[in-house]
Amino acid sequence: MLDRSLNLAGAEAELGAVRAAPVGWAVSPGRIAYPNAVAAMEARAATIAVGQAGELIWLLEHPPLYTAGVSAKPADLLDADRFPVFASARGGQYTYHGPGQRVAYVMLDLERTHGSVRARDLHCYVDGLEEWLIRALDQFGIRGERRVGRVGVWVADRAAGTEAKIGAIGVRVTRWVSWHGVSLNVDPVLDHFTGIVPCGIRAHGVTSLHALGVLATLEETDLALRGAWTTVFGS
């Protein structure tokens, strides 16, 4: 499911080579069960932390499910019987994952500086993830925006005076290695979000590329994400 970890046998020169290597990319076909994904991420992050694997961005889809981040409020789970619900060690509140949504799990060594993202700076890292999604959306002619006090990426309809969330972010950092990551709504069933209060925000809804008239595929979305990555995080 993930690319094979490098076996460095403790050699100092090779260890430095892995830490300096370009970030790898992996795409999983089908729909990956959430517990399996968490176990794989946690194992990969541990091997990155000791220099036995390279950094990785893992692109995938999940079957329909809800996850509760460390700040989730019980009242924000509106329909506990609709889909499986998983407790998650990531930051944030409730979110939905499902078909038509591109999930990108980002496993980086944050002891290092990556492009414009400074080492050991979690706020800068989250800002970098937001900027990454914003620049990917720009390739489809969509203006993604930040909101003060609301992590994620938003799309505004100024004529109607409304806005909706298109990209969510929830991260965990262990020994200065990041895991979990971002999700971008390409063409999920937006009604699936109604079983929760997404990210604890009741005043605004969610949207997707297709809802905005951009009929991109997941593969086209992946190309946009890969193209935007180096403009923020470097090569």
Active site residues: 199
- Answer for the pair 186, 178: CB distance below 8 angstroms, yes or no: no
Where do we find the tokens 């950092």?
Answer: 173
The span from the CA of 13 to the CA of 17, in Å, is 6
Give the three-state DSSP class for 74. Answer: helix
User: What distance lies between CA 84 and its chain's CA centroid?
Assistant: 20
Number of C-beta neighbours around residue 230 at 10 A = 14
Q: Phi and psi (nearest 5°) for 212?
A: -90, 5
Q: Kindly write down the DSSP assignment for every residue of 149-197, as one continuous string.
A: TEEEEEEEETTTTEEEEEEEEEEEEETTEEEEEEEEESS--GGGGGGB-
Number of C-beta neighbours around residue 103 at 10 A = 21
Where do we find the tokens 């890969």?
Answer: 226
Where do we find the tokens 């991109």?
Answer: 216
Q: Are strands 85-87 and 94-97 parallel, antiparallel or unpaired?
A: unpaired
User: What distance lies between CA 122 and its chain's CA centroid?
Assistant: 15
